[in-house]
Amino acid sequence: MQIIETSLFKNVNSEMLNLTLKNVQLKNCLSKQIIIKEENLTSQNFYIIKSGIVVISKMDMNGTDVSVSIKKTGDPFGMFSVIDSLPSNGKAVALCATEYWSLSGSFIKEILLKDNNFSLNLLKFYANYIRNSNDFQTSSSFGGAQKKLLYQLMRIGEKEVGKDIIIINNYINQTVISSFAGVSRETVSREIQKLKKSRILKINDKKQLELNVKLATDLLNTG
């Protein structure tokens, strides 16, 4: 797959696509490798995941890393620093061996953002990101630890095509899940066991967590 085949470049004109292919860099990193540091970001770049998983985290007032979003194939990150030319306010770390494309911030601002379709595609992505954040805030306000956990599992897992099932990749361990859900690792372990008993979660033959979307949605919609 090439970068121009991702959803961000849908309906972008051929001239822009060709310029993108000439300016993009494909990079590789190992598991646990930092792609963007929260401090000392000296140059703004824009990134898109080709393969792998990247977690975006921020440091809270207590100095603890809190996971705020997860990036998968085709997902962009780093755009906020490109737009406002400020240092990153988050850290990007690969959860597994990851390939990603990198474009300079100057190329994005001077070339790509002049294409209306690219700008619209980018806006749609971040509109969806904001909707998900708002949904989580609502679930956090009105739900207990179990609903917080369940909402995040649905958010960070991968939905199987044609099935009402979400797979939680083995790279996303309980420590990562607890950071997303805002509960302790012990709470994650306890609630996962409860969700297994309710048949909302099970372990598949690949030793991955498998989530039943219908049962999970029914639980989230309960008062």
The domain limits of the chain are 3-132, 143-220
CB 167 within 8 A of CB 188: no
- Single-letter code of the amino acid located at 120: L
Tens of pLDDT, residue by residue over 100-138, are 999 999 999 999 999 999 999 999 998 887 887 766 565
**Model-level pTM?**
0.80
13-22, 41-50, 132-141, 172-181: the lowest-pLDDT one: 132-141
CATH classification code of 3-132: 2.60.120.10
In angstroms, the Cα distances linking 97 to 7, 33, 91, 143, 210 are 22, 9, 17, 35, 22
Q: If we measure between CA atoms, which residue out of 167, 164, 172, 175 comes closest to residue 209?
A: 167
Range with the poorest average pLDDT among 31-45, 109-123, 169-183, 195-209 = 31-45
Report the C-alpha gap between 77 and 213 in whole angstroms.
Answer: 27
Comparing 3-132 with 143-220, is the CATH topology the same? yes
Q: Which CATH number fits domain 143-220: 3.40.50.300, 3.20.20.80, 2.60.120.10, 3.40.50.2000?
A: 2.60.120.10
